[in-house]
Amino acid sequence: MLVNCVVYQDGMKVAEIATDQIHEYLRRPNAFVWVALHDPGAPEFEQMQREFGLHPLAIEDAQQGHQRPKIEEYGEAVFAVLHMIEPTDGQFDVGEVDIFAGPNYVLSMRSHAQRGFQEVRARCEREPELLRQGSGYVLYALMDAVVDRYFPILDRLEDELDAIEQRIFAPESSPRSNIEALYELKQRLMIMKHAVAPLLEGVSALTGGRVPSLCAGLREYFRDISDHLQRLNQTADSIRDTIATAISVNLSMITLQESETMKRLAAYAALVAVPTLIAGIYGMNFQHMPELSWRYGYESILLVMAALDGYLFYRLRKAKWL
Amino acid sequence: MLVNCVVYQDGMKVAEIATDQIHEYLRRPNAFVWVALHDPGAPEFEQMQREFGLHPLAIEDAQQGHQRPKIEEYGEAVFAVLHMIEPTDGQFDVGEVDIFAGPNYVLSMRSHAQRGFQEVRARCEREPELLRQGSGYVLYALMDAVVDRYFPILDRLEDELDAIEQRIFAPESSPRSNIEALYELKQRLMIMKHAVAPLLEGVSALTGGRVPSLCAGLREYFRDISDHLQRLNQTADSIRDTIATAISVNLSMITLQESETMKRLAAYAALVAVPTLIAGIYGMNFQHMPELSWRYGYESILLVMAALDGYLFYRLRKAKWL
Amino acid sequence: MLVNCVVYQDGMKVAEIATDQIHEYLRRPNAFVWVALHDPGAPEFEQMQREFGLHPLAIEDAQQGHQRPKIEEYGEAVFAVLHMIEPTDGQFDVGEVDIFAGPNYVLSMRSHAQRGFQEVRARCEREPELLRQGSGYVLYALMDAVVDRYFPILDRLEDELDAIEQRIFAPESSPRSNIEALYELKQRLMIMKHAVAPLLEGVSALTGGRVPSLCAGLREYFRDISDHLQRLNQTADSIRDTIATAISVNLSMITLQESETMKRLAAYAALVAVPTLIAGIYGMNFQHMPELSWRYGYESILLVMAALDGYLFYRLRKAKWL
Amino acid sequence: MLVNCVVYQDGMKVAEIATDQIHEYLRRPNAFVWVALHDPGAPEFEQMQREFGLHPLAIEDAQQGHQRPKIEEYGEAVFAVLHMIEPTDGQFDVGEVDIFAGPNYVLSMRSHAQRGFQEVRARCEREPELLRQGSGYVLYALMDAVVDRYFPILDRLEDELDAIEQRIFAPESSPRSNIEALYELKQRLMIMKHAVAPLLEGVSALTGGRVPSLCAGLREYFRDISDHLQRLNQTADSIRDTIATAISVNLSMITLQESETMKRLAAYAALVAVPTLIAGIYGMNFQHMPELSWRYGYESILLVMAALDGYLFYRLRKAKWL
Amino acid sequence: MLVNCVVYQDGMKVAEIATDQIHEYLRRPNAFVWVALHDPGAPEFEQMQREFGLHPLAIEDAQQGHQRPKIEEYGEAVFAVLHMIEPTDGQFDVGEVDIFAGPNYVLSMRSHAQRGFQEVRARCEREPELLRQGSGYVLYALMDAVVDRYFPILDRLEDELDAIEQRIFAPESSPRSNIEALYELKQRLMIMKHAVAPLLEGVSALTGGRVPSLCAGLREYFRDISDHLQRLNQTADSIRDTIATAISVNLSMITLQESETMKRLAAYAALVAVPTLIAGIYGMNFQHMPELSWRYGYESILLVMAALDGYLFYRLRKAKWL
């Protein structure tokens, strides 16, 4: 579906045009067309390929979807694929935005993602001196927006990890739910990681050595994105490492709880076993067992049992078994 | 066994020829011969080496089989080895396709693999403008077909992993079968990984710096293969990482189940031990045990036993031990 | 807040000036202005950007905070971000210092950090022959001060690890607190690691190949910082590795303690079970049980019980079960 | 000890000569001397150094033995160290072959290895057109022979691993012997790895960039060795990875077996504890226990015990505890 | 403290001189001064800096100590830091040797290390043709000596690991002491690793690309050191890997021992529980229990108990539980 199709010249918006007029504006000097689509269908793909002369392999990738993030050059044009991550109900929905940028056009196609880029367009239009730099700046602005949206998501993952960590060491935690939460957190982290790591690779090609002419004057801007991606990537690696440690720590806590449970059980068993032995002794049928005929033999022996158990209880509690 | 032996000129099929005529057609301008063999025998290897002048080391590799995937240059010719993975009964059959490509010929030899490349040939013949690019394009088309066949296989591995994951956290799972499934999944994953990772290395040589003249105008096409391989490789790495985590999580679950079983056992033991103690006490032979002569002493004590067990049961259930 | 704003010429302090006079001094030959701020507010950011013509992306990074450590060039200027780690109550407070250095100015902005750089300024002023090298030397001096402050912090982490290690192998250690301490130690280590590792990367750009003109004659000085960072980084990696080993060793110790506890329990159970069996035997109601009518049958059987338990105790102690 | 000392000219064997005649033949054009020694003593080292003018550091390495595999250039000469692995009684004997190759000589010294290189010499002599390429080809042929001998050894390690894997999941396996076998397998694998990995590094220097003049026309041959080494290396890494997984899986199986044993034990305990409780109840000494005076009270209660145990047995078997 | 201060010319010792005469000899052609200090104090540092014009950063590093091993160039001079490891009472004492080498001097300063370099000096003086190469050769000889001393230390670590490995699998091993030994071994290994790995990095700079003029003709010699370091490094990595495996194997052995202990315990429990049940049955007070009045009822039942236990014992032994 078409979101927008606008012509800019010298950093200023000229007109909203129909998509079939695009080729008329492509020849204007210092102008570029910025088209935004979402969830485009086959006819839109064909029209765009025709209007902008996109490379068939790039259009095939965009049409097929599920690409890994990447930045590729086709002649003078740049083709960028970025993942858009949108948390819904504790799950991550992974959308995709494909950006085709040539000297005189930018085409962004967003799929399976709720949130658009109206704010990016608005900000660009408010800063004509930057927009004057052309389609390369729009490419930067779109990529910057996508990457900036990763930060709060990763922050929330970090917060969740913090919460799980505190539960792990809490005395009455449920190791089963902890481990499930850690596992599930790692799954989501990997989605983030797969969005960030390959993109980092791709962006570095826009900041180092030979740069596409499109991005020529914007090296510092793309380096800024690369820097953000590195920060995200490092944080993700660090969370991953912490999850691995937390899983092994959780295993230790499980084994430890098991060991403590065993001690408690054994302590209770002792409290039962000792009086059972005594009762057994006085259940023997020897003819000559003087205690049996004592007037308060029974009561005394009950007291002895209670006393022994009391002493045992005291010792076991002191040894932290109970 | 010969599958096909066809001459193409200017992107169009000219004729199917016999293999002993090949050398006659090799001198034609803008033409190339495309030969497909499967499970070739020694005489076919010799004939092909003679007809195309293949390098003895390359032919030795092809004849011997069980090569790691690779792409090697011999003078103007390119020698590519790819693995073909075919799932049968939950196992992976690993076949091999060896492709020799020179300026005027392509020779593909498939071994231990059911599925051929008829569809690739058909697609090539439908697109004469691409086929006109010569043997390099055929090399691309064959490699692309092999690599594209990896995707559904890897997808299925991912699905299987998802299924195992859900079983791990299911309350009544069998950890033994989970771990066996994870281990077996990893074995198959490694087969996939060994098909993809070395090939990725090899293909990058066809996209970067100095490229064999054969592939000169096709850089974007081989980069597309490289991109697919990177995606496969990343997914495989991610699955491998998840399997490792799942194995350690499964160990935690086993330990946890053990711990829970132990608590259940202990709870039942308590339910038996306490009345046993009481029975022991009233089995003692003291002369003065007033309860013994009570009219309803026996019945009362049975009630006491039942009441104690009832109370214990309630407490243990509340503590989730039962 | 402004800390200092001083003009230096030929290595000597010329005057403390007001920040709005800065631009007047920037044109002097062989002179540079060194401004130090802490926790600057928006107006100070704006003023500084105006006075020194700082790049908007750099100023944005500084204003936003929470950057990863880095060293970036903007034209002739260098922008450095360093983390300042200050331990308080066993926790690490992470502050940040942002340094902008141009040919004729140095601007340091410290945030969320108690300790300033007065000592650095004092040392610089005592060594005019070094300060004569200009703003690059001040950049070095500030970075060197920040990096040198990492050493005692890392040393203390190492000491703490040593203490935990000794507790792990101590016979009466608490594995629960050990593991908690290890986990917490690792968290703090990662903060240190995140301060050091990215900076190391950045500093190497000031020592290798093409160096910003600002730092031209100071290669050996920056190599010295790089060397310190490498030392810190290596130590951090080594601590991390040791923590991982310690966690797995601790798990082994937990399992071992569990196993030893089980043996102790079983030993005590045996000491109770054997006399219980004997008591049971003499509690049987057979008519012909000669021992029952023995005059000292009861006493003898008590002695037998005691003797058996004594023997068992001796054996179990010898086998180290008790 | 001398094995052979032969002069070759234009690819043909000219004569077997005595080692003190070597220097007479070294000046002949298109000729080279190929000397093979095994377990050489100090005088032979000295003589060879004198005859061929070997570099003192290389001769020192060869004399000392226990070098890591490597390929080094000394001026025009190449010095190669390779490990020879010979399995005896399930152990690996590690021998060494040191090859000195100069423009007009090849000297191979084999130590602590049974199997020689007669077959290599024989094959070389059967292929004069290849041998005509001179000493570089002999260097290739020797290295190729050593590397090819690694394959069956690694294959056997893989087979052993397969056998252990099947034992791990077998219901009645002995985890103790499995883990011992895995550990021992890893030890042997590391010996193989240490033979392969450093050599791979060294050989790549003979295929890439600047190549010693000796090996100039043989790039494809050395690339073939490099390819074999990569295959070996990859297989070794994969086995190592699988061993690590197998060890952790085996630990899971141990824990699982423990858990299953515990359930069996608990089941048997229940089968004894319940009738014990019942017997205890009817061992009580209450005056009014109607069942005691029933005619078939005893028999009935035995039946009740048997019935209860039968029911328990049925339930426990259904729950797979027995 | 001064160890030696000697002037060499054309490879021959000229004279022992006082340290304050050094500057007089520095101008002689083809001569160099070789000074050896141990545990130098501040005045010696100052004197040396003055005499040889050492770089302040290098002297600061040397004075401060606890540097990581490194090799740095300061103009024409080379500054090398090496660790000296001396085992005492199973611990490693880490000393340091700092070597300053310029075109006409070598200064070695040894700290916290017992063993000096007299043997190196003696060997150098015995080989004037090598010593003629100047101070670069002395630098090589000192570094070679330090590195060669690492080998026996690492060999002993390997031997210790072998000993621990055999204890792990021994039936009556103490897992607690094994794990402690492994942990302690790893600590010492890391000390070795920290001596070797950074030095390897540094030495490679003396063998590759641009080499300090001092070491110009000695490339093969420094490559030899680099080769030794690589061997040490590889061995250390391999030991580390084996330790990690051994720790996890040891955990398996602990779990296994626990499991076997549990079975033994359960077997003994069964041997007691079964006769206890029988005794309980004949302790019941039913009026009609025919066995009770049998003449040899008591003896028969004791025999039954013994027979049952005998049978159980036989079964349990066969199942390897006892």
Question: pLDDT tens digits for D31-63?
Answer: 999 999 999 999 999 999 999 999 999 999 999
Interface subset of E 130-169, CB within 8 angstroms of D = 165, 169
By the 10 Å C-beta count (0-12 exposed, 13-18 middle, 19+ buried), E146 is classed as: buried
Q: Which residues pair with C81 in a beta bridge?
A: C70, C98
Give the span between the Cα atoms of D215 and D135, in whole angstroms.
Answer: 9
Q: What is the pLDDT of residue B27?
A: 86
Give the span between the Cα atoms of E117 and E97, in whole angstroms.
Answer: 10
Cβ–Cβ of E74/C221 closer than 8 Å? no
D70-123 pLDDT, tens digit each: 999 898 899 999 999 999 888 899 999 999 999 999 999 999 999 999 999 999
| D296/E contact by beta carbon, under 8 A | yes
- Spell out a b/e string for C283-302, using b for 16 or more CB atoms within 10 Å of the CB, else e: bbbbeebebbeeeebbeebb
Question: What is the band of A13 on the pLDDT scale with cuts at 50, 70, 90?
Answer: very high
Cβ–Cβ of A176/B256 closer than 8 Å? yes
Which residues on A lie below 8 Å from C296 (Cβ)? 288
Strand A91-102, strand A105-111: pairing:
antiparallel
| B69/D contact by beta carbon, under 8 A | no
* pTM of the predicted protein model: 0.86
Cβ–Cβ of A276/C280 closer than 8 Å? no
- The number of CA neighbours under 13 Å toward the Cβ of B2 is 14
C235: distance to nearest CA of chain E, Å? 9
D239 has pLDDT over 90: yes
- Supply the angle between the helices E297-318 and E219-281 in degrees, to the nearest 10: 160
A266 has pLDDT over 90: no
CA end-to-end span of chain B: 68
Q: Which residues pair with B71 in a beta bridge?
A: B80
Cβ–Cβ of E72/C274 closer than 8 Å? no
CB pairs under 8 A between A and B: 121
D173: distance to nearest CA of chain E, Å? 13
- Those residues whose C-beta lies under 8 Å from the C-beta of residue C80, and which sit 6 or more positions away, are C70, C71, C72, C98, C99, C101, C139, C143, C202
Mutate to test the interface with D, among B64, B94, B168, B298 (most CBs of D within 10 A): B298
**DSSP SS3 for E4:** strand
Q: Average pLDDT by consecutive 10-residue portion of chain B (322 residues)? A: 92 92 88 94 93 92 90 92 92 95 95 93 91 93 96 94 92 86 94 94 81 86 93 94 92 88 86 92 90 90 94 91 81
Give the span between the Cα atoms of C283 and A284, in whole angstroms.
Answer: 4
| E228/C contact by beta carbon, under 8 A | no
Q: State the CB neighbour count (10 A cutoff) for residue A277.
A: 24
Give the span between the Cα atoms of C253 and C44, in whole angstroms.
Answer: 57
D144: distance to nearest CA of chain B, Å? 12
**DSSP SS3 for E8:** strand
- Supply the angle between the helices C135-148 and C118-126 in degrees, to the nearest 10: 130
Strand A105-111, strand B2-9: pairing:
unpaired
Question: Residue E67 carries which DSSP code?
Answer: P
| A255/B contact by beta carbon, under 8 A | yes
**DSSP SS3 for D72:** strand
Cβ–Cβ of B285/A280 closer than 8 Å? no
Question: What is the band of A257 on the pLDDT scale with cuts at 50, 70, 90?
Answer: confident
A173 has pLDDT over 80: no
Cβ–Cβ of C255/E250 closer than 8 Å? no
pLDDT tens, residue order, chain E (322 aa): 899 999 999 989 999 999 988 988 988 888 999 999 999 999 999 999 999 999 999 999 999 888 889 999 898 899 999 999 999 888 899 999 999 999 999 999 999 999 999 999 999 999 898 899 899 999 999 999 999 999 999 999 999 999 999 999 887 778 889 999 999 999 999 999 999 999 998 898 788 767 888 888 888 899 999 999 999 999 999 999 999 999 989 999 988 888 888 888 888 888 999 999 999 999 999 988 888 989 999 999 999 999 999 999 999 999 888 7
Closest residue of chain D to B179, computed from CA coordinates: D249
Which residues on D lie below 8 Å from B255 (Cβ)? 255
For residues B7 and B44, the answer to whether their CB atoms sit within 8 Å is no
What's the maximum distance between 2 C-alpha atoms anywhere in chain B? 122
For residues A280 and C283, the answer to whether their CB atoms sit within 8 Å is yes
The owner of tokens 């999944």 is B185
For residues C115 and C3, the answer to whether their CB atoms sit within 8 Å is no
For residues A256 and C267, the answer to whether their CB atoms sit within 8 Å is no
Cβ–Cβ of D289/E287 closer than 8 Å? no
- Those residues whose C-beta lies under 8 Å from the C-beta of residue D260, and which sit 6 or more positions away, are none
Q: How far is CA D316 from the centre of its chain?
A: 47
**DSSP SS3 for D8:** strand
- Those residues whose C-beta lies under 8 Å from the C-beta of residue E241, and which sit 6 or more positions away, are D190
Give the span between the Cα atoms of B279 and B275, in whole angstroms.
Answer: 6
**DSSP SS3 for D172:** coil
Question: What is the band of A174 on the pLDDT scale with cuts at 50, 70, 90?
Answer: confident
Tell me which chains share at least 3 CB pairs under 8 Å with chain E: C, D
Q: What is the pLDDT of residue A231?
A: 92
Give the span between the Cα atoms of B212 and B223, in whole angstroms.
Answer: 14
Least confident of A102-116, C23-37, D222-236, E196-210: E196-210
Q: State the CB neighbour count (10 A cutoff) for residue A314.
A: 11
Cβ–Cβ of C220/E298 closer than 8 Å? no
| C119/A contact by beta carbon, under 8 A | no
Give the span between the Cα atoms of C114 and D281, in whole angstroms.
Answer: 76
Q: Quick one: tokens of E61?
A: 């590093």
Give the span between the Cα atoms of C204 and C182, in whole angstroms.
Answer: 32
Q: Quick one: tokens of A63?
A: 């049409």
Q: State the CB neighbour count (10 A cutoff) for residue D156.
A: 12
**DSSP SS3 for C213:** helix
| C244/E contact by beta carbon, under 8 A | no
Which residues on E lie below 8 Å from D257 (Cβ)? 259
Q: Quick one: tokens of D216?
A: 């100039």
D180-210 pLDDT, tens digit each: 999 999 999 999 999 999 999 889 878 876 7
Residue E82: in which H helix or E strand, if any?
Answer: strand E77-88
| B244/D contact by beta carbon, under 8 A | yes
The owner of tokens 């790893």 is E186
Q: Quick one: tokens of B12?
A: 């169009």
Which residues on C lie below 8 Å from E283 (Cβ)? 280, 283-285
* Averaged pLDDT for residues D265-276: 89
| B266/D contact by beta carbon, under 8 A | no
Q: What is the pLDDT of residue C279?
A: 93
Closest residue of chain B to D222, computed from CA coordinates: B57
C127: distance to nearest CA of chain A, Å? 36
Alpha-carbon dihedral angle through residues D55, D59, D61, D67, given to the nearest 10 degrees:
110
Q: E-assigned strands of chain A?
A: 2-9, 12-16, 31-38, 70-74, 77-88, 91-102, 105-111
| E72/C contact by beta carbon, under 8 A | yes
Q: What is the pLDDT of residue C219?
A: 87
Cβ–Cβ of B274/A272 closer than 8 Å? yes
Which residues on B lie below 8 Å from A63 (Cβ)? none
Give the span between the Cα atoms of D224 and D204, in whole angstroms.
Answer: 10
Q: Quick one: tokens of D58?
A: 């290389």
Mutate to test the interface with C, among E79, E241, E258 (most CBs of C within 10 A): E258
Of A175, A180, A279, the CB nearest to B281: A279
- Those residues whose C-beta lies under 8 Å from the C-beta of residue B199, and which sit 6 or more positions away, are B69, B70, B71, B82, B83, B147, B229
**DSSP SS3 for C87:** strand
- For CA atoms A302, A304, A305, A310, the dihedral sign is positive
Of E262, E265, E279, the CB nearest to C281: E279
Q: What is the mean pLDDT of chain D?
A: 91
Question: Which whole-number Å values give the CA distances from B318 to A263, A271, B311, D26, in the listed order?
Answer: 20, 22, 11, 94
Give the span between the Cα atoms of A83 and D198, in whole angstroms.
Answer: 41
Cβ–Cβ of D301/E288 closer than 8 Å? no
Closest residue of chain A to B261, computed from CA coordinates: A258
In whole angstroms, how large is the CA radius of gyration of chain C? 35
Question: What is the band of D30 on the pLDDT scale with cuts at 50, 70, 90?
Answer: confident
Strand B31-38, strand B105-111: pairing:
parallel
The dihedral region occupied by A66, where left means phi > 0, alpha psi between -120 and 50, and beta the remainder, is: left
| A287/B contact by beta carbon, under 8 A | no
Q: Quick one: tokens of D41?
A: 């003593």
Which residues on C lie below 8 Å from A289 (Cβ)? 298
Closest residue of chain B to A59, computed from CA coordinates: B224
* Averaged pLDDT for residues D235-253: 92
Q: What is the pLDDT of residue E171?
A: 78
Mutate to test the interface with E, among C137, C245, C263, C305 (most CBs of E within 10 A): C245
Q: What is the pLDDT of residue B172?
A: 76
Q: What is the pLDDT of residue D303?
A: 94
Q: State the CB neighbour count (10 A cutoff) for residue B292.
A: 21
For residues B292 and B282, the answer to whether their CB atoms sit within 8 Å is yes
- Those residues whose C-beta lies under 8 Å from the C-beta of residue A49, and which sit 6 or more positions away, are A56, A59
Which residues on B lie below 8 Å from A251 (Cβ)? 248, 251-252, 255
- Supply the angle between the helices B219-281 and A56-64 in degrees, to the nearest 10: 20
Question: Residue C69 carries which DSSP code?
Answer: P
Cβ–Cβ of A67/B231 closer than 8 Å? yes
Which residues on B lie below 8 Å from A248 (Cβ)? 248
Q: Which residues pair with A94 in a beta bridge?
A: A85
Q: Which residues pair with B82 in a beta bridge?
A: B97
Give the span between the Cα atoms of A260 and E29, in whole angstroms.
Answer: 79
Give the span between the Cα atoms of A95 and C43, in whole angstroms.
Answer: 40
Q: What is the pLDDT of residue A37?
A: 95
Cβ–Cβ of A291/B286 closer than 8 Å? yes
Q: Where are the alpha helices (DSSP H) in C53-127?
A: 56-64, 118-126
Question: Residue E98 carries which DSSP code?
Answer: E
Q: Quick one: tokens of E278?
A: 């029988």
CA nearest to D270, candidates D241, D305, D229: D305
- Those residues whose C-beta lies under 8 Å from the C-beta of residue A42, and which sit 6 or more positions away, are A63
Q: Which residues pair with D303 in a beta bridge?
A: none
Least confident of A212-221, D274-283, E241-250: A212-221
Percent of chain D with pLDDT over 70: 100
Q: Quick one: tokens of B218?
A: 């096709």
pLDDT tens, residue order, chain C (322 aa): 899 999 999 989 999 999 988 988 988 888 999 999 999 999 999 999 999 999 999 999 999 888 889 999 898 899 999 999 999 888 999 999 999 999 999 999 999 999 999 999 999 999 898 899 899 999 999 999 999 999 999 999 999 999 999 999 887 778 889 999 999 999 999 999 999 999 998 898 788 767 888 888 888 899 999 999 999 999 999 999 999 999 989 999 988 888 888 888 888 888 999 999 999 999 999 988 888 989 999 999 999 999 999 999 999 999 888 7
Tell me which chains share at least 3 CB pairs under 8 Å with chain A: B, C
Cβ–Cβ of B194/D238 closer than 8 Å? yes
